[in-house]
Amino acid sequence: MWTERQVAANLQHLGVRAGMAVLVHATPQAIGPMEAGSATLLHALLQVLGPEGTVLVPAFTPAHRDPAERAGRLTPTGEAERLRATVPLCDGHTAPADPQPPGEFPEIVQKHPQARRSTHPILSFVAIGAQADFLTRQAPFHYPLGSESPLARLHQLNGYVLLIGTDHTANVSLHLSEIWANVPYIHRYATVRTGEATWTRMQGSPECRRGFARIEPLLRQSRILREGPVGDAKAQLMAQQQLVSMGVALLQGERSFLLCEDPDCAWCALARKMNADPATQTALRAEEIERP
Ligand SMILES: [Zn+2]
């Protein structure tokens, strides 16, 4: 059974310090049994970061996306309406966060009395601490992980990314690299529920992250990762600015670097087409926009 004190000692050994702003991607189950469950991890983080520090976590709610769009162009009109009726209405504050990566950590953070949540139907963040307001206020609707997003504000604060029991497929800061490298596929649209009967097309939808794992050995070689255990879990701490810069450099060398290799991944196949041919890109974008 791991205690808060042991978890805090592991975090300090890894390099977490008082006053840092840290974006945490955690699978608490990987740590093993803790004295107060997943809350032990949050308490240990807040203890080490101190009153000047800030914890930030993704609280994504992909269930508010248009299921008819996901199902593709073959969805009959009546069926699209039926699918859309199953999507919950997002109030922007209390919607349960989808555990990404799996685990209840975002929910634990969200229930903290000092938690602040950014408003976005599908890509919101929750923060606790000195910079929580700065990180979460006035989050943009379009390009939700771009230059005005909580991710970019963390970058402004010289913040850190902490992975606990998960790999880089959870490392959403690399979407900021995609935006800043201006790869053609970042301008894609997604339709999301924004009101009782309102569906809004959002530009700059970040998609597949399965290819992100490819960056790990390069980060290690470049001494960007600090690695060690947190309980039974493997953990990695990195300066977000270094991570994002490396992502930008790699994408400038190869625009498809962060796309996955799964032949059945329709999204990455589309992204490769958009990368290869700007004309195709325009056509594909137009096709998406015109879809009812
Ligand atoms: Zn993919």
What spacing in Å lies between the alpha carbon of 260 and ligand 1's midpoint?
Answer: 4
Give whole-number Cα distances, 14 to 1, 114, 130, in Å.
20, 26, 22
What spacing in Å lies between the alpha carbon of 212 and ligand 1's midpoint?
Answer: 10
What spacing in Å lies between the alpha carbon of 72 and ligand 1's midpoint?
Answer: 16
Which of 110, 18, 102, 114 has the alpha carbon at shortest distance from 57? Answer: 110
What spacing in Å lies between the alpha carbon of 271 and ligand 1's midpoint?
Answer: 9
What spacing in Å lies between the alpha carbon of 230 and ligand 1's midpoint?
Answer: 29
pLDDT of 278 strictly over 80: no
What spacing in Å lies between the alpha carbon of 141 and ligand 1's midpoint?
Answer: 23
What does the pLDDT look like over 1-11, one tens digit per residue?
999 999 999 99
Which of 42, 14, 9 has the alpha carbon at shortest distance from 28? Answer: 42
Residues around the ion ligand 1 (C-beta < 5 A): 208, 260, 265, 268
What spacing in Å lies between the alpha carbon of 269 and ligand 1's midpoint?
Answer: 7
What spacing in Å lies between the alpha carbon of 267 and ligand 1's midpoint?
Answer: 6
pLDDT for 292 equals 38
What does the pLDDT look like over 252-269, one tens digit per residue?
999 999 999 999 998 899
What does the pLDDT look like over 216-230, one tens digit per residue?
999 999 999 999 999
What spacing in Å lies between the alpha carbon of 262 and ligand 1's midpoint?
Answer: 6
Alpha-carbon gap, residue 255 to 23, rounded angstroms? 26
What spacing in Å lies between the alpha carbon of 129 and ligand 1's midpoint?
Answer: 34
Q: Domain ranges in the chain?
A: 4-290
What spacing in Å lies between the alpha carbon of 135 and ligand 1's midpoint?
Answer: 28
pLDDT for 95 equals 57
Q: What angle do CA 67, 208, 260 make, to 5 degrees?
A: 135
Which of 207, 170, 191, 172 has the alpha carbon at shortest distance from 64? Answer: 191
- What is the pLDDT confidence band of residue 291, given thresholds at 50, 70 and 90? very low
pLDDT for 280 equals 65
Please give the average per-residue pLDDT across 30-46, as a whole number.
96
Amino acid found at 19: G
pLDDT for 71 equals 54
What does the pLDDT look like over 141-193, one tens digit per residue?
999 999 999 999 999 999 999 999 999 999 999 999 999 999 999 988 888 88
What does the pLDDT look like over 46-96, one tens digit per residue?
999 999 999 999 998 877 777 777 655 555 667 777 777 777 666 555 555
Place of tokens 């005005």: 148
Mapped onto helix, strand or coil, the DSSP state of residue 248 is helix
pLDDT for 76 equals 60
pLDDT for 231 equals 98
Give whole-number Cα distances, 76 to 62, 83, 88, 115, 292, in Å.
22, 11, 21, 42, 10
Pull the structure tokens for residue 25: 């991607």
What spacing in Å lies between the alpha carbon of 240 and ligand 1's midpoint?
Answer: 23
pLDDT of 126 strictly over 60: yes
What spacing in Å lies between the alpha carbon of 41 and ligand 1's midpoint?
Answer: 31
What spacing in Å lies between the alpha carbon of 258 and ligand 1's midpoint?
Answer: 9
- What is the pLDDT confidence band of residue 19, given thresholds at 50, 70 and 90? very high
pLDDT for 290 equals 46
pTM: 0.89
What spacing in Å lies between the alpha carbon of 193 and ligand 1's midpoint?
Answer: 24
pLDDT for 91 equals 58
What spacing in Å lies between the alpha carbon of 187 and ligand 1's midpoint?
Answer: 16
Alpha-carbon gap, residue 272 to 185, rounded angstroms? 8
What spacing in Å lies between the alpha carbon of 266 and ligand 1's midpoint?
Answer: 7
